[in-house]
Amino acid sequence: MKKVVFIDRDGVINVDPIGDYVKTWDDFRFEKGALEALKRILDSGLEIILISNQAGIGDGVYPEASLWDIHKKMLAEFKKKGILIRSSHFCLHGKQAGCGCRKPEIGLFKEAVKDLAYDPQKTYFVGDKATDVEAGKRFGIKTIFVRTGHGRLDEKKLTGKLKPDHIANNLSDAVEFLLP
Ligand SMILES: [Mg+2]
Ligand SMILES: [Zn+2]
């Protein structure tokens, strides 16, 4: 069994420009403490899987090449800190495309766990939107909601079936909860 944690990108690892998109590397800012938090996760023996919606591509707001440029540079910053992640999975479809991978759909998670044995009861998805909580639940894993990014706006939506297993102020706090 592998120990993994699924993590959303915008609003968790980097600052989400609410109402806009991270369109170039110049728009990209790490959330405070995020790199240190990712490193702690790895050092604890968990592997990191990135799960991110990037509808701005499908909706024509920025080109796909821009996403890969940002991704390459983000991974280079990770590497400087000794952070190597297991895999990254993006939905590039527009918001209205009706695809099976845009969260709260679970296509990206399914893609990520091909050839991966893991225990859903001990696996978390960390995200900043109510739809992240919904996706994690649909996929049958546990969820941690963070108050960064859309978190402050979405926290009020977390009622009934959308109650996460934990609410954290940010990724660093989520790591405190996650690690034994
Ligand atoms: Mg997000
Ligand atoms: Zn998609």
Domain boundaries of the chain, sorted by first residue: 4-178
Distance 91 CA to ligand 2 centre (A): 4
Segment (H or E) for 76: helix 64-80
Q: What pLDDT is attached to residue 180?
A: 73
Indicate if 128 belongs to the active site: no
Predicted confidence (pLDDT) per residue in 33-88, tens digit? 999 999 999 999 999 999 999 999 999 999 999 999 999 999 999 999 999 999 99
Residue tagged active-site, from 8, 16, 128, 154: 8
Please state whether the peptide bond connecting residue 104 to the residue before it is cis, i.e. omega within 30 degrees of 0: yes
Instruction: Choose among 154, 142, 145, 141: nearest CA to 174.
Output: 145
Q: What pLDDT is attached to residue 172?
A: 98
Indicate if 8 belongs to the active site: yes
Distance 50 CA to ligand 2 centre (A): 15
Q: Which CATH architecture has domain 4-178?
A: 3-Layer(aba) Sandwich (3.40)
Kindly tell me if the per-residue pLDDT of 160 is higher than 80. yes
Ligand nearest to the CA of 103: 2
Predicted confidence (pLDDT) per residue in 82-130, tens digit? 999 999 999 999 999 999 999 999 999 999 999 999 999 999 999 999 9
**Ramachandran region, residue 47 (left: φ > 0; alpha: ψ -120 to 50; beta: rest):** beta
